[in-house]
C-alpha cells in the first residue's frame, strides 16, 4: 500500500448518501488525486506494473460471485415463498430474479456482448407461474453469460459511451456496468431480506466449495 500511495495526494471528505425512507447517513471517504507522473489506462486505472489486474477481470469476478449468490437464494426458497410478497412489498423474490436476468441479459449480454436477446420487461414483474427448474436454468445460464462477456471486454472499450442512454445522461461502458453491479446487489439484498421475512430463516450458510 505504501508503494502504491507514493506519488499520490489524499483528500478526506464526507459524502451524504440517501437511505430508504428519506433518511441520510454520512460516509467518510478519501479522494485520490493522481499525480501527473502516474499514467492512467483507458480503463481508468493507475498502471503500477505488468501484474496489474485488468478491470474486466475484477468486474467479472464480482459478477461471478454475486450471481452465484442469486442462485443460492433461489435454492433457499420453497415454491410457496418464491412468488409471495410481504405487506408493503410489491415484488416477489421470483419476480426480482426475473428482472435481474432480463436487465443483465439486455444491457450486458446483448448490448455489450452481442448475445441475442429480446427483453420483455413487463413479464419480469407480472409472471407468477414460472417453473422452478426453468428459473434455475435461466439464472445458471445468466451466471455464465455475464461474467464471460465482461471478462472479454478489451480495456479500450471501457471508456466508450454505452450504446443506450438509459439514465438520462451519457455514461461510459465502465460507469454503466458499475451501475449495473450496484443494481444487482440492490435487488439481491431485497431478495435476501424478503426470504428472511417470509421464512424466518437467517443468513445463508457459506458455500462449502
Q: pLDDT-derived band of residue 53, with 50, 70 and 90 as boundaries?
A: confident
| Mean confidence (pLDDT) of the chain | 82
Position 27 pLDDT exceeds 80: no
With the C-alpha atoms ordered 175, 177, 182, 186, is the resulting torsion angle positive or negative? positive
One domain, residues 12 and 96? no
One domain, residues 26 and 72? no
Q: Cell triple for residue 135?
A: 428459473
Read off the CATH number of the domain in which 78 is found.
1.20.120.450
Number of other residues whose CB lies within 10 A of the CB of residue 187:
19
Q: Is residue 209 part of a domain?
A: no
What are the helix (H) ranges across the chain? 2-5, 55-76, 79-82, 93-104, 121-126, 132-151, 173-199
pTM over 0.75: yes
149-198 residue pLDDT tens: 999 999 999 999 999 999 999 999 999 999 999 999 999 999 999 999 99
One domain, residues 64 and 127? yes
One domain, residues 68 and 155? yes
One domain, residues 82 and 163? yes
One domain, residues 178 and 100? yes
Domain that holds residue 102: 55-199
Position 141 pLDDT exceeds 60: yes
Looking at the structure of the chain, the number of domains it has is 2
Q: Is residue 40 part of a domain?
A: no
Question: Residue 178, class by beta-carbon neighbours within 10 Å (0-12 exposed, 13-18 middle, 19+ buried)?
Answer: middle
Question: Residue 196, class by beta-carbon neighbours within 10 Å (0-12 exposed, 13-18 middle, 19+ buried)?
Answer: middle
Distance of CA 179 to the CA centre of its chain: 7
Give yes or no for a contact between 26 and 16, defined as CB atoms under 8 angstroms apart: yes
Number of other residues whose CB lies within 10 A of the CB of residue 115:
15
Q: Is residue 110 part of a domain?
A: yes
One domain, residues 133 and 171? yes
Q: Is residue 45 part of a domain?
A: no
One domain, residues 79 and 150? yes
Q: Is residue 69 part of a domain?
A: yes
Amino acid at each position: 500500500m505504501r508503494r502504491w500511495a507514493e506519488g499520490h495526494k489524499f483528500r478526506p471528505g464526507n459524502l451524504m448518501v440517501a437511505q430508504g425512507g428519506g433518511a441520510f447517513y454520512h460516509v467518510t471517504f478519501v479522494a485520490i488525486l493522481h499525480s501527473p507522473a502516474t499514467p492512467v489506462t483507458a480503463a481508468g486505472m493507475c498502471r503500477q506494473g505488468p501484474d496489474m489486474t485488468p478491470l474486466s477481470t475484477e468486474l467479472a469476478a464480482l459478477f461471478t460471485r454475486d450471481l452465484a449468490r442469486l442462485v443460492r437464494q433461489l435454492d433457499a426458497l420453497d415454491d410457496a415463498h418464491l412468488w409471495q410478497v410481504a405487506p408493503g412489498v410489491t415484488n416477489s423474490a421470483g419476480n426480482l430474479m426475473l428482472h435481474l436476468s432480463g436487465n443483465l441479459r439486455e444491457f450486458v449480454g446483448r448490448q455489450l456482448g452481442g448475445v441475442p436477446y429480446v427483453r420483455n420487461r413487463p413479464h419480469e414483474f407480472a409472471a407468477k407461474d414460472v417453473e422452478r427448474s426453468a428459473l434455475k436454468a435461466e439464472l445458471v445460464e445468466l451466471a455464465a453469460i455475464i461474467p464471460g462477456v465482461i471478462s472479454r471486454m478489451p480495456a479500450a472499450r471501457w471508456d466508450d459511451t454505452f450504446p443506450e442512454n438509459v439514465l438520462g445522461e451519457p455514461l461510459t461502458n465502465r460507469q454503466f456496468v458499475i451501475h449495473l453491479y450496484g443494481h444487482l446487489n440492490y435487488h439481491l439484498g431485497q431478495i435476501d431480506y424478503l426470504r428472511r421475512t417470509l421464512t424466518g430463516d437467517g443468513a445463508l450458510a457459506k458455500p462449502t466449495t
